[in-house]
Amino acid sequence: MRSKKVRRCLGVSVCGILLFMMSESIIDFFKVIPHDIFILNDIDNGSSCALPKHDPFDSSIMKYFYDIELPCDKYPDVVYLDSELQIQTNTSAVKEAGWRHLTCEREMIQRVNEENIAYVPLGSNASSTVYSDCSKISCMDESSSLVYQQMMFHVDSKRLLKTKVIKDEDPEIPSVLIFGIDSLSQLMAKRLLPNTLEYLQRSIGAYIFNGYTKVAENTFPNLISLLSGRKEISEAFYRDKYLDNIIPFIWKNFSDKGYVTMFAEEQPMSPSFNAVSKGFKNPPTDHYFMPCAMAMDNTKTLIHSPNYKYSSTFYKLLLLKQFMFCHGSKAKYEIHIDYLKSFLSSYKNKRKFSVTWIASLAHDEPNYLRLADDQFREFFKWSNINGHLKNTILIFVGDHGSNLNDIRNTVIGRVEERMPIFAIALPPHLKQKYPNLDVNLRLNKDRLTSHFDTYYTMVDILQGSFSVSHGKGQVGRSLFRPVPSDRSCQDAGIRREYCPCHKYVPVDVPIEKLKTFAQKIVEKINSKFNIVNMQCKQLSLNKIENSQKIMSHFVPVAQKKQFTWYSLWHVRSTHIESKQYRMLISTLPGSARFESSVTVHSNGKIEVWDQISRANRYGNQSHCVKEIELKPFCFCG
Ligand SMILES: [Zn+2]
């Protein structure tokens, strides 16, 4: 009897376990996408991904770096806002400018929708019942002539504190501060922001990641992955859409947990969200800088006094650096730092989630970064000394590296374009309480990581998962858990074009073959015009500038559904041996340079990779097309 009972019991248990496994497999079948299996190409190397190691000061790249002056106008701040956000004139600056008296007016900037703003006038001393994070200040001299005009920025917390319950920070529920610099690579940060990195590392205990890699081409898809864990569908998909209900930005989850949220980028048409999509139907965060950025670009800065004469009209007309980089006497990145300081001070000890995105510094002229080094360091020092980092996890990050033609076409530049800066600092008490965090971050900083990992790290922060990490997705895993040493780019969600584990070696095929590959790339570019736009000239191959064979550290051997050992379905396909080549070519007319790669299959089929990157400036060459995805390719006829 006993043995029967035991057998029945065993039978039920086994059936239960099998059913459980099958249901898991069925769920997986619909959930998991096909996945390549890789073997190591270089078995002598202990780690699966040999992360590239380059000297940031290598002589091959240092010729692109030089000292540069801040291009902003030089005059003192004539007005300022006091702690009650009322306009005050700076008496000594007024005197210095040569005026006897100024009368100033103020218009508050209000968001109408993503494309439009309204200016709501307020008297100079009116108590503010219109809440806004920025205002336009206009001052008149004794003869009522407009002599000073400028935008002012500040975080007005009054409205929000009346309408939303913002909870206090807690040692276990820290704030998250993301300080982002567009186009900042890890090597560029080491090269041009040494003081900032030194402060982050030595004084705040930040971990600087050596294997952090972008997951897609430019700002938009990389930011989406960082902030939502999602992959971009296609650039065209978002063009006529608002992002509110399409992308589950993590700031919404933080907001639901009683955090005050902020998203600030300095340029309204910067390449992040609004150049690709319609942006946001509703403000995505509690404090949203976009209306202020629009007002900043719309406002003519002006000072006409006996001692100064500056106006930004001329700069704007010619789109000169002063306009792109400055607002009057202030650099835009300085305005952003001040805005962030105002945010931190306004919500001190409250739960905060902020994303500050600075695009003007490294995007077009990385040499400006050097000028910001001390100010960045001072900002982090100020935050640290004033207790703003006491309960805050700080993330210092770039979306990708410099994609400027000169730099990216060097051996080092091509690698650093793929590898943005990433540094993370935790409050000391968190590291003390959970030593596993320090152990894992130390380990992971020399492993292959990506924006998806940052997203899942934030998921852990959101859920307070510090002792046991839960943040993990199909691609990406929290940096609070160990990243495997044999991780592939595919595991990290990094598209193969950007995989830094690749090695480049001299080509092993004759020039005629290379010309065929190059021709295929040109054909692929031309096919873009046939479908969408006839105004673009058909391009022809001018020259193969450079070509290399790609030796991946990982060799794909099979493709399968990524199931567990008990899976009922197991799709395997035999790997067809193929070779891959990276090509840098130039075309005519227009002398464009394009970088792409091709796969040559063993049956002779040549496949051009999806990503074709423009490797020099296209300027006005594509003025006749509106489609952003055609801009790098079209030469208008
Ligand atoms: Zn970018």
From the number of C-beta atoms within 10 Å of its C-beta (0-12, 13-18, 19+), residue 628 rates as middle
What angle do helix axes 369-385 and 332-346 make, rounded to 10 degrees? 10
Q: How many other CB atoms sit within 10 Å of the CB of residue 396? A: 25
Distance (Å) from CA 139 to ligand 1 centroid: 37
To which H or E segment does residue 591 belong?
A: none
The 3-state DSSP class for residue 132 equals coil
Distance (Å) from CA 475 to ligand 1 centroid: 22
pLDDT classification of 533: cutoffs 50, 70, 90: low
Distance (Å) from CA 312 to ligand 1 centroid: 26
pLDDT classification of 577: cutoffs 50, 70, 90: low
Comparing CA positions, the residue from 322, 367, 338 lying closest to residue 74 is: 322
pLDDT tens for 94-117 read 888 888 888 999 999 999 999 899
Q: How many other CB atoms sit within 10 Å of the CB of residue 435? A: 10
Q: Cα–Cα distance between 316 and 320 in angstroms, integer?
A: 7
Distance (Å) from CA 358 to ligand 1 centroid: 10
Taking the CA atoms of 66, 71, 76 and 81 in sequence, report the sign of the dihedral they define.
Answer: negative
Average pLDDT over the chain, rounded to whole? 84
Distance (Å) from CA 465 to ligand 1 centroid: 30
Ordered by where they begin, the domains of the chain are 30-50+502-614 (no CATH), 167-218+230-282+332-465 (3.40.720.10)
Residue range 476-483: mean pLDDT, rounded: 94
| pLDDT value for 436 | 94
Question: Can you read off the two tokens belonging to residue 349?
Answer: 């000890």
Distance (Å) from CA 629 to ligand 1 centroid: 15
Distance (Å) from CA 420 to ligand 1 centroid: 10
Distance (Å) from CA 181 to ligand 1 centroid: 8
pLDDT tens for 230-281 read 998 888 899 889 999 899 999 999 999 999 999 999 877 665 788 888 999 9
Distance (Å) from CA 352 to ligand 1 centroid: 24
Distance (Å) from CA 182 to ligand 1 centroid: 5
Residue range 545-556: mean pLDDT, rounded: 72
Q: Cα–Cα distance between 293 and 186 in angstroms, integer?
A: 27
Distance (Å) from CA 359 to ligand 1 centroid: 7
pLDDT classification of 576: cutoffs 50, 70, 90: very low
Least confident span in 167-181, 267-281, 350-364: 267-281
